[in-house]
Structure formats: structure tokens, C-alpha cells
Amino acid sequence: MEKVAVRRWKSGRESAEWDVVLEEAPLEIRVSASFKAQRFLKTLAITMRTPGHDEDLATGLLFSEGIIKSHDEITLIHRAGDGALIVDLAPWADVDWTAFDRSLPLLTSSCGVCGKKELPKMSDAIEASTARIKPKTFASLEAELEAVQASFTETGGSHAAAWFDAEGNLKRFREDVGRHNALDKLIGSLLKDGSLPLADSILFMTSRASYDILQKAIMAGIPIVAAAGAPSTAAIELAERRNLTLIGFLRGDRFNVYTGSWRVG
């Protein structure tokens, strides 16, 4: 976060004041991996993100895109001299780069499926979940998350991805200027400590619910996704196909259930 000078207008009057702005900066993520018995170093992405939890971001991106299947496939994450983050994969993590190839390496903070030739193969973990959540549990999610969102409180410029258990207890969250980055940071941190898949859990996003958010949730085995904003048609169709409960426009005790309504009640 940084302080910047602004000219603020209120009730027709101008004043000189300071404002706190969320930082957005590029991060290049490179992967060192084996492919067809040869070792190579490749730029996976250059993403615009809020600095912090960069290792979680890289780990979550690799997992949610289906490049790695477990944290054991990562042997080391370190910084290059130019500031890039290098992820070294184990020799047995044989990466097929044709499954994840972006036409442009630059990803904006709002970019999810940009430039992919094909989508990752998604986990089947959702099918086994039998969680049933009381409506009043969803009503408490927004307030509980807002109470701990330091970046949003200071700047109003961050998205959050939060993991709640079936009783509505906040277990972990991550913030970022980009909603996809926030979710990748959360997924990466959970993969590192062996918490995935998240059966009988709730993912709450302060953003809208797009296809790529649902795709990442499915990869993490999360059966219920609640979003403060609207879902897209593609997100609803994906949630329906994969037996996932999708909730949109969550504001206090008001929300819409688009798919998987049997888990609510």
C-alpha cells in the first residue's frame, strides 16, 4: 500500500488530502521442469498482482492450471537476480507444455483463461461432497471476512478469496488486486499444508463468479462457491455439470442459489 496525494471533492468543496492505494506490480513466474527427458526453463506467466504471498500465488497457479498434481512435485521456489520467481519441479513431474500455453505471457490482474489453448483437466473431488449448509451460515460470511480484510479496509481496492468450514468459521483468506490471484494464493497455501481437497467447505469470493473462478474451485475440490457479485452463464453451466453449489449476490442474509440448492437448507 502506498500514500498518494489527491484532490478530494465533497459537498461541492475541494481539499488536499492523502489517500492509501493498493500496490499492483508485475511478477514473472518461471518454471524449471523436465519434458521428454530434457530440462528447460520457461516463463509461465507475467502477472500483475499485489506483492505478498508470491510463492503461494505461483503454487496455486501451477495447481489450478493442472501443471502439478501435488506440492511434492515442487522441489524449490526461489528468486532470480532480476526478481522473477523460479519454481523448480521434480524430475518426475513431466510437464506437457502443450496443455498450458498462453499466446501472450503478460496476464492482467483480471485475467483468468486468457490465451489458453485448452482448459485443464478438472478434479472429480466435488462429486463426493454431501455438505448441507444452513442459510444463516451464509449470512455471516461477508461480515466475518470484512472484519479481517486489512487491505480492503485501507484501500477499498482488493479482492478476497476466503475458505470457510461448513459451520461458517473463517479458516483462511488471501487478498489481491486481482480476484484470480487472490484465489490462486489461497489454493497455493492450502496445497502446501496438505489441506486439499476441501470437502464440505465454502469458498467465498468478494468478486463476481466467472468460469475460471469455478474451474479453480473444482481443482481444489471445493463443493460450494459463494460470490458477492453475479455469476456468468458459463460459470452456472460448469457448476451444474460438476455438481457444485453456486451462490451469487451474497449480501448479508440475501443471496441467490443458482445450482446445487440441495446443499442449502
**Residue 209 to residue 232: CA distance in whole angstroms:** 6
Catalytic residue among 29, 67, 111, 126: 111
DSSP 103: S
Residue 79 grid coordinates: 528468486
Angle between helices 211-219 and 54-64 (to 10 degrees): 90
Q: Which strand (E) or helix (H) includes residue 252?
A: none
C-beta separation of 248 from 230 below 8 A: yes
- CB neighbours of residue 166 within 10 Å: 18
Nearest to 170 by CA among 151, 148, 152: 148
C-beta separation of 149 from 137 below 8 A: no
The backbone torsions φ and ψ at residue 176, rounded to the nearest 5 degrees and listed phi first, read -165, 160
**Residue 139 to residue 157: CA distance in whole angstroms:** 23
Q: Is 111 one of the catalytic residues?
A: yes
Give me the active site residues, please. Answer: 111
